A and B are shown apart, each in its own frame.
Chain A
Amino acid sequence: DGGITQSPKYLFRKEGQNVTLSCEQNLNHDAMYWYRQDPGQGLRLIYYSQIVNDFQKGDIAEGYSVSREKKESFPLTVTSAQKNPTAFYLCASSTTSGRDYEQFFGPGTRLTVL
């Protein structure tokens, strides 16, 4: 089955630690995205990538880093510089061709800083 996988589902981190969230897709999509969602809030874009080896900052990139070495993978690192990292992190992918294309989401990773 085609889809997007994220791991782990739940992640606990001590303050001062970096953590990496995994996102893999087998939909052959060119574009991948990372969003953050806080309780009762909408989705905010952290980073996105439209092609391998290229990515751009979204609205709230400070304290995060990404890489896009393979088309299928777009890992997100939450660094110790992110002051309030506890949130629900969602990865998405989409094609970039055509006019009306939608995003597909992974199941998310819930990060808690202890």
Chain B
Amino acid sequence: RKEVEQDPGPFNVPEGATVAFNCTYSNSASQSFFWYRQDCRKEPKLLMSVYSSGNEDGRFTAQLNRASQYISLLIRDSKLSDSATYLCVVRGYGQNFVFGPGTRLSVLP
């Protein structure tokens, strides 16, 4: 089993749609959780950290369920500019970052 798994994608959605990405991780000792966004042929950039209490940043909401070892990202009112690959990233205490394979999103006009 891979350490971090994500929905295989791609997701093709119309503008204005709500889309949800799922991620599971295998290391129960993981302590830090992130969603990164990667545009085509560019470097990954931090979208948001994920906390146990859940957190929201504008149209983006991230949730963490430690018991189920599950992370989610919800994008509301999708924009064309949201088209990218979304990477789930997990880090254990004192350990390195482990990246999921990513889920590609295409928002269609």
- Residues facing B in A70-114 (CB within 8 A) are 88, 90, 94, 99-108, 110
Residue-wise, chain B 16-53 has the 8 Å CB interface mask toward A (1 for contact) of 00000000000000011010000001111110010100
Question: What is the total number of residues of chain B having a CB less than 8 Å from a CB of chain A?
Answer: 20
- Interface contacts (Cβ under 8 Å), in number, total 44
Task: State the CA gap A100–B45 with chains docked (Å).
Answer: 16
B87 close to A (CB within 8 Å): yes
Taking the nearest CB of chain B, how far is it from the CB of A16, in angstroms? Answer: 27
Instruction: Please name all residues of chain B whose beta carbon is closer than 8 Å to the beta carbon of A106 when the two chains form the complex.
Output: 43
B60 close to A (CB within 8 Å): no
Chain A residue nearest in CB terms to B102: A42
B-side interface residues toward A, CB under 8 Å? Answer: 31-32, 34, 41-46, 49, 51, 87, 89, 93, 96-97, 99-102
